[in-house]
Homo-oligomer: A and B are copies of this chain.
Amino acid sequence: MTNKASSGRFFEDFSLGEVIYHATPRTITEADAALYLALTGSRFSLFCNQEFAQRLGFKQTPIDNFLVFHIAFGKSVHDISLNAVANLGYAELQFYLPTFAGDTISVLSEVIGLKENSNGKTGVVYVHSKAINQKGHTVLSWKRWVMVHKRQHQMLNSFEVKPHLESQLALESLFAPTEFNSKHYDPQISGEKYLLGNYEKGEWIDHIDGLTIDEAEHTMATKLYQNNAKVHFNQHQMSNSKHHERLVYGGHIISLCRTISHNGLANAQWLLAINSGSHLNPSYAGDTIYAASQILDKVNLGSGVGVLQVRTLGFKNMSWQQMQDQFEMELDGKKSYHPQLVLDLNYSLFIPA
């Protein structure tokens, strides 16, 4: 009799065009939102102030985009990345609708690309994932690609199919939350006066503050998202890995950087899209995360609202003053990153104009 527990999918288990329905759809509650505050320290008003959210036009406090993403992403881990060697990147992540406490999120992924590595041991799987609420509406979607182990070390000589990935979502494809009426927006609530017009293309913001990751904090966050990737939870196994320690879920790093970025981007309340994202180096408990952001572009959408396209860098155990001149280097014509740079995120934020 074969063991009833699943050890996840290997490269050979994916086929192009296959749609995978991920297990354990989950109802998101007000309590998840409170836990998200406690685990990240987030202070964006839209997600923790019901009066503010309702004044803007939301029926109730929406759930933080990043929390929705983490829960949706967590659903896909068991099928897609349980045996991942590495999460290589994200692209085309986009929000369509706000999520409210009580909504239940299901997640599907379509395999949109497959590529064997020449070592015969691993391959790259590209998926397009969608999170759908209980009414059947798509809440968000994203593409990501992961390097996964092969069950058997050999070349299958399958065709390589690499999907087209936009390096940036077109402005007209973004869904601004229709509830957001900037007429009633009061920057005194966020504590910062900077709106769309105050940001300049190319401008850097040093978010100053650092947040140290504790072991129970990142594991609780990742368990809350029901993300069951072993690298975050099994010290007994990780002790024998090259890391020696549990890895912090990359999404937790994104959330910490988002929290830190409140200091300088406090009015950029809503995440429209993540154009691209890479975890450049691993983080461990004990690391202190810092962040700095560059304004890549800004677009006034009219009606008192606009979009900031932002690149946020997350780095650890050093300040932006130390990091700013050395985060990216050309080495023999190849781009190389500082070993303490942990995140490079290009995303689009909705902000009153």
Q: Point out residues on A near B: beta carbons under 8 Å.
A: 1, 3-7, 21-27, 29-35, 37-41, 43, 45, 48-52, 61, 78, 102, 104, 134, 188-192, 194, 198-200, 203, 205-212, 214-217, 219-221, 223-224, 226, 228, 230, 233-237, 246, 263-266, 286, 288, 317-318
Contacts and interface: CB of A to CB of B under 8 A. Distances in A.
A241 to B, nearest CB: 13
Given A6-B263, A25-B51, A236 B317 contact: yes
B5 A224 contact: no
Nearest to A27: B50
Contact of A224 (B38, B51, B216): B38
Given A45-B24, A216-B214, A233-B211, A39 B264 contact: no
A207 B207 CA distance: 44
A221 B288 CA distance: 18
Contact of A78 (B52, B191, B214): B191
A228 to B, nearest CB: 7
Contacts of A41: 223, 226, 228, 233
A203 B237 CA distance: 26
A134 B223 CA distance: 31
A67 to B, nearest CB: 11
Contact of A3 (B24, B205, B233): B205
B234 A25 contact: no
A188 B21 contact: yes
Contacts of A38: 35, 39, 220-221, 223-224
A63 to B, nearest CB: 12
Contact of A1 (B24, B37, B200, B212): B200
Contacts of A39: 38, 220, 223
A224 B1 contact: no
